[in-house]
Each structure stands twice: as C-alpha cells, then as structure tokens.
Amino acid sequence: MRVSGFVGCAALVAASASLGACAENDAGAGPENAADEGASDHIALAEPVSDSAIPTMDFDNEQLGAKIEGPVGPEVNASFLLDGKSYGDIESYVACPTDITTCDPKNLPAGTVYTYVHVVTPGLDKGNDEPFKPNKQVMTVAAADMFTMSLPSTGFSGEAGYSKGQASAAAGPEASFSVKCKNDRLVFEKLSGETWSTGETITFYWKSTVPPKGPGEGFALRADGKVAVGTGPVPGTPPAGEVKGCA
C-alpha cells in the first residue's frame, strides 16, 4: 500500500463496556498513544447506534493471492500502544483474491475483493516498522478479550472472522469470538474459552471492495481492562453511493 501519511485516530467502538476514544490527530502526524479508559480530559465515549451480528468465518479456510506491497514491505508491523507501553503486537497485510499474482489496486477492476488480515499477539512485541512509534515497555497481558476497528470498515463485503485453530490453541477448544458491526466498525469479542494472554497469537480478518489508502491508527486491543491502539492498513474512500462501513 502507498503510505501518504497517517490516518488520525477516530472514536473507538463501544461494546459491552464503553471504550475510550483517541483524540483526533492532524493529517500527516505520526501515531499517538491511546489514553486510559475513563480519562475524561481527552476521551469521548462512543455510544453504539447498531449492534449487528455477522456470521463468523474461519480464516484457516482462506486461500489468498498476492499481498499489496508497500514501502515497508508486504506486511505492516506495529504495536498496541497505551501511554508509550506496548500491550501487544499487530502485524497486518492486505491480500488479493487467490488468482491474482500481483496485487496492485491501480491495475485491478472496481469491485475486487481485498482481504485485510491482522495477526494479533497480546503481551509480545516484535518491534515496529519505521516510521511507527516504538514502544517503551512491553506489558504482560493476563487476559485480552476484544480486538476492534476504530475507523469505519469501508467497503465491507460481509465476510469476517478469525483463525479458529489459533483461537483453540490460545484459549482452549471452547474458545470462540463474535463478530459484530457497531458504529460502522467491526468488533471481534471473545465469548468463551480460557484466557487469551501473553504470547498467544490469533489472526483476524475481514473483506472489503475498497483497497487500503495507507496505515492508520485504525485498530484497538482491550487487554486487562485497558484499551491500546494499533496501526495497520485502513481502507480508502468508498466510491460514490457505497456504504461507508459495515451495517
């Protein structure tokens, strides 16, 4: 994907408990850290206007084509940051359908379905690609229970899910996540299983007909009751007449 600057952080999703939102950054500014949940000086609480359940698919069954190549490579590696501390690692990429060997949106027809993939590991940080803000300290996570988008899931095709094999390895055979649409954003929330904690990787994904415009603070991880913000590829502007996010 082409990095034209960072996308500012929008209000985080409200789920079973309201999540704090990030202060909006000026275009072109680097990623900022999130703030503690409940801090009222620069946090706005988002009230859900919709809570639509989405069928949960298994990423393990996905067959993907080439990845979009960006300035930092085909993957974007960043941290979930809160007050300069990392609560986990997020590695993301966007892939074309399986029959496409060179994934360049400029040369692909409108309506091409892109798969946004986010590999999330609480309590572990592999280090960040430049120019993403580095962490100062990696925190041990006892229990993570939600991965969300904090920007609209523009162009959402209706398919989203996670690796059920990884979820089972991380949180036991009864582990499950729901996928819901809240305020045009996708929310992946843990429903059952053992704790999802430090070093346990789960891959989440969703599909869109809109290619990425670059990396932005479009994601959040709720871990040990705190909300940390992560950077990854976010979709661009939808064609005229298309829905801005999920519904």
Confidence at residue 32, expressed as pLDDT on a 0 to 100 scale: 37
Summarised one tens digit per residue, pLDDT across range 2-57 is 333 334 443 343 333 334 433 333 333 333 333 333 333 322 333 333 467 999 99
Higher pLDDT, 222 or 242: 222
0.85 exceeded by pTM = no
Closest CA to 95 of 236, 1, 221: 1
pLDDT for residue 121 is more than 90: yes
Domain ranges of the chain: 52-235
Mean pLDDT of 192-199: 98
Q: Is 95 left (phi over 0), alpha (psi -120 to 50) or beta?
A: beta
Mean pLDDT of 204-229: 95
What's the CA dihedral at 195, 55, 119, 235 to 10 degrees?
-140
SS3 171: helix
pLDDT for residue 115 is more than 80: yes
- Report whether the peptide linkage leading into residue 131 is cis, meaning its omega lies within 30 degrees of zero: yes
Chain centroid to CA 10? 13
Local confidence band at 134 (pLDDT 50, 70, 90 cut-offs)? low
Local confidence band at 133 (pLDDT 50, 70, 90 cut-offs)? low
Confidence at residue 130, expressed as pLDDT on a 0 to 100 scale: 73
Q: How far apart are CA 205 and CA 56, in angstroms?
A: 10
Least confident of 21-30, 76-85, 108-117, 231-240: 21-30
Higher pLDDT, 70 or 24: 70
What is the residue whose two structure tokens read 């899910």?
Answer: 161
Q: How far apart are CA 155 and CA 161, in angstroms?
A: 16
User: E strands, the chain, where?
Assistant: 52-54, 56-58, 64-67, 76-82, 85-97, 114-122, 137-138, 144-149, 156-162, 176-182, 185-192, 202-208, 212-223, 226-235
pLDDT for residue 233 is more than 80: yes
Q: Provide the token pair at 4.
A: 């034209």
Confidence at residue 129, expressed as pLDDT on a 0 to 100 scale: 72
Mean pLDDT estimate for the chain: 81
For the domain bounded by 52-235, which CATH number is listed?
Answer: 2.60.40
Confidence at residue 16, expressed as pLDDT on a 0 to 100 scale: 37
